[in-house]
Amino acid sequence: MNGPDPSNLLERLDALTQAALLQGFHQRQLVEDELLGSPNSERDSVFIVRSGRIRVFLALEDKEYTLTFLEAGDIYSTHSQAYVQTVRPSEVLMGDTARMMATLRSLPSAVPAIIRVLGATLANCMGIIEDLAFRDVEGRLARFLDGMLARRGRPHQGSLRLELDLNTEDIARLLGTTRQTVSSLINRMAREGILSRAGNGIFDIHDAERLRARSQQPGKVSAG
């Protein structure tokens, strides 16, 4: 990728703006499965992900619904009424919400970048909610792969290579289903010649048109 990543807040800001914005923030190392926020949390903080991956999800009784994964450059809060938990060791910059709001009043140049990053996170959440409501698991998986292919796919030996940096369990969490179901559907797509596995979280897409068509087909809604 050339130039700054448009989805990475820190890369969108020049050095002086970044330094001013992060006054009062402190670095924090998180272990896997560490909880940063929950519906009843009293912590009122904002954090920016430096590295790792953090899951934002809703939980009710024995069910969990993943809303999004936060990665490097994403900004989020601990008081969103969702659970916020690391899925791998991560590093974040944490700051007090009130202090950050005061900083932004005197630093308007940072606001557009924050809005764009938050907007991308919200759009991702809405897409997942739409899929859970209106698509079956196969449709969700196809739409997810098609969307990621548009963002990250690159030509590779006559196909399109897609490197997700997500394992089967991560994908299953995003789709609101089980790891076994995702593996079964990926194997089916492989038998049909749509894709093949090139490694853990790496796929070669051989028929992008069929993948897109599969993502747009109506299906019986199921939790998988």
User: In this predicted model, what pLDDT tens digit does every residue of 152-211 receive, in sequence order?
Assistant: 899 999 999 999 888 898 899 888 889 999 999 999 999 999 999 998 889 999 999 999
User: In this predicted model, what pLDDT tens digit does every residue of 107-136 receive, in sequence order?
Assistant: 888 888 888 888 888 887 887 777 777 788
Contacts for 183-189: CB closer than 8 Å, 24+ residues apart: 185/137, 185/138, 185/141, 186/141, 189/142, 189/214
In whole angstroms, what is the distance from residue 37 CA to residue 23 CA? Answer: 22
Number of other CB atoms surrounding residue 223 within 10 Å: 13
Question: Is 0.75 topped by the overall pTM?
Answer: no
User: In this predicted model, what pLDDT tens digit does every residue of 18-72 receive, in sequence order?
Assistant: 888 888 899 999 999 999 999 888 778 999 999 999 999 988 877 888 888 898 9
